[in-house]
Structure 1
Amino acid sequence: MFEVLKNLAEIRAGHPFRGSVPAVDGGDAMVVQMRDVAADGTVGWTALTRTSIAGARPPDWLRDGDVLFAARGGRNYAVCLSDVPPRTVCAPHFFVLRLRAGAARVLPAYLAWHLNSGPSRRYLAGHAEGTDQLSIRRAVLEDTPIAVLSLERQRLLVALADAAMQERRCLEALVRSRDRELDALAHRLLTPDTVAVAVAVAP
């Protein structure tokens, strides 16, 4: 069964900062920006910019289970939040998706995975607008078709995606380790000073 996204989740824009996010030492809030989200979907919580948020009405702070969707630029992606620090908001480049009270049949992590899947990417790319910079309008995101599977299948898909991401991290770490070994070997064998020393001590 398919549902449009707006029937499953409330969708709002990130905090309406005017211009760039002002960094304030000792500020009372933290901000998730696009640079804080790694390619594997993890958020660098410890590196967030601190700022101050004024106003009589407190912002709608982020919380565990929220899904951020990057709506601007050539790379649109969704990330499911966990371990969110207190008093954290996100920049307006993101939409915040929060599952509705009656949408217990959809897991937040599954929703993020679905939006990152091939069919959703093709749908969103086909409806992106803009010349200098592509973006996804809120109305387009709201009408994104979401396949509502059984919770068992949702958990299975999320587990498979997590396992694939862990394998990717391990492979990337192995490649980086091999690159460092090759760099060290090249330095030892190909640097003029080390080559001269090797020749001098040769029998």
Structure 2
Amino acid sequence: MKLKEITTISSGINERRNPQGTIYYLGASDFVDFHSINPLIEPSLMPSSKLEKHFLTKEDIVVLAKGHNGFIAHTLKHFVKPMVASSVFMVLRDTITSVIPSYIAWYINLESTQKELRGYSRGTALPAINRTILGELDIEIPTLEIQKNIVAIDELKKQESKLTKQLDHLKTTKLELLLKNKIQS
């Protein structure tokens, strides 16, 4: 199925930041890794009635539409409200009931899908995709049970990567302390 048949696709918005703002404005730099929004993000937009229709929900997916690091998709499981996506993102919402939003994000993040999107991207200085390019993306849709299993396995893989990184950091710290003690004795 084409992505545009599964979900609605809209562009993020372009707004001017204000330190007195109470609305969170999600930018590409607000992710601490490919999957987590920085918990220290600060609100930076002033409230207005035009922003309300752009408020993100936990079922939304944001897809980075510009940049050299790929067109990474993020599901918004844990985020602060109210939040809107900046214009560097495409927002996928109102996904049909037979598809899990996290599955769509997983599928978009596959290396083969990223390669396909890079092939269709526009611009040489800063590669970019638009709604049409994203909407024409073919996504294979298995049963809901298989989608749930894929998402669960992907979550476990992310946890494993995070724990491996933490373990490596602890080993490095321990080794540095041992070697430093050898030098000082």
Q: Same fold (TM over 0.5)?
A: yes
Q: CA deviation at 1:131?
A: 1.6
| Aligned match of 1:95 | 90
**Matched-pair identity in %:** 23
| Aligned match of 2:22 | 28
Unaligned runs of 5+ in 1: 199-203
| Aligned match of 1:15 | 13
Q: CA deviation at 1:17?
A: 1.8
Question: Are the aligned partners of 1:115 and 1:121 in contact in 2 as well (CA < 8 Å)?
Answer: yes
Q: CA deviation at 1:98?
A: 0.4
Larger Rg: 1
| Structure with the largest fraction of strand | 1
Question: Are the aligned partners of 1:32 and 1:49 in contact in 2 as well (CA < 8 Å)?
Answer: no
Residue 159 to residue 130, structure 1, CA distance change in 2 (3 Å)? same
The separation in 2 between residues aligned to 1:157 and 1:56, in whole angstroms, is: 38
Q: CA deviation at 1:119?
A: 2.6
Q: CA deviation at 1:12?
A: 1.0
Q: CA deviation at 1:58?
A: 3.5
Unaligned runs of 5+ in 2: none
| Aligned match of 2:161 | 168
Write the mapping of 1:134-173 to structure 2, written as runs, cut at 5 A: 134-173=127-166
Deviations 1:95-122 (A, max 9, x none): 110034xx10000110100100133112
Q: CA deviation at 1:176?
A: 0.4
Residue 117 to residue 9, structure 1, CA distance change in 2 (3 Å)? same
Q: CA deviation at 1:37?
A: 1.4
Aligned residue for 2:99, secondary structure, equals coil
Q: Normalized against structure 2, the TM-score is what?
A: 0.91
Deviations 1:85-144 (A, max 9, x none): 2211121111110034xx100001101001001331121011112121111122111111
Q: Normalized against structure 1, the TM-score is what?
A: 0.83
Write the mapping of 1:23-172 to structure 2, written as runs, cut at 5 A: 23-25=18-20, 27-44=21-38, 46-53=39-46, 55-59=48-52, 60-75=54-69, 76-100=71-95, 103-172=96-165
Aligned residue for 1:130, secondary structure, equals coil
